[in-house]
Amino acid sequence: MSDLDLLPSKLLSVLLRPDFWLWLGLLTALWASWRGWRRLATWVLVSLVVAVTLVGFVPVGHVWLAPLESRFPTNPDLTDTPSAIVVLGGGEDIRTSAAWDAHNVSSAGDRILHAIRRAHEFPGIPVLFTGGAFNATNDPLLEGNAERVGEMLQASGIPPEHVHIGAIARTTAEHPADITAFLEDQGLTPTTDAPMLLITSAFHMPRAMGVLCTAGIDHVIADPTDHRTVPGARWQDTIRWAYAGNLSNLQLAIREWVGLLAYQRAGHTDALLPDGC
């Protein structure tokens, strides 16, 4: 599947963003005011003020992210040594790293840091980073992102021969292709006594596990990181002005729940909220 084939889904993700609808609402109010439709302009502006106020003070995104992040246990029991460590892409800041010839991480950079931690906890275990870049415009700054993450892993002290790169996957549904090729190349077959460790953001783990299970990749232990919610937090501690953070979590929650629904309908997962194989 080419990058152009993925373009519709990327455009749909823009339409699902609350900040896009905020911009569209402001544009509508401006147009209504210019047309002299003051009642419509006022109604739209009042609606936007109410929406921004609610998002700013009420962490709705946390409520929607919580069941995703709690689906798999954090710090799972690893009594058996894993046969491999797999970290999904998304933690790298692709364009900034390329522009500055540096190694920068995104807001999901915990994925990479946690993979480094596990690699040092289980030395000698092969580590796979799987993640390509959606690059429909042939942006040169988006090339070689997977290799750059490989450099980050090696710079942390992981031997180069234990670092492996899979640059096929640009979506969650494409990760099994990278992982299957890696397992075949290494001659590995995860088992109950030697499972494969999967690292990704906690909110993304249900969809990732569902995709792997549906693809027939068994004996996988979910090892979530990059948490965005605070379990057990008192409501009075969460009601405060935090518009940027609340909006970011709301957008993450909408994207992930819509992604789960779309993946189930497309057959990439066998449940709306997967809980393992």
**Structural domains of the chain ordered from first start:** 3-69+241-266 (no CATH), 84-222 (3.40.50.620)
How much is the pLDDT for 170?
Answer: 82
Mean pLDDT by runs of 10 across the 277 residues of the chain is: 57 82 93 93 94 92 94 92 94 85 90 96 95 69 79 94 89 93 93 95 97 94 96 79 92 95 94 88
- The residue with tokens 């088992």 is 191
Contact 156, 109 (CB under 8 A): no
3-class state of residue 163 by DSSP = strand
pLDDT at 135: 60
Q: What's this model's pTM, rounded to 2 decimal places?
A: 0.90
Q: Bridge partners of 84?
A: 196
Ramachandran sector of residue 143 (left: φ over 0; alpha: ψ -120 to 50; beta: rest): beta
Pairing status of strand 196-199 against strand 84-88 = parallel
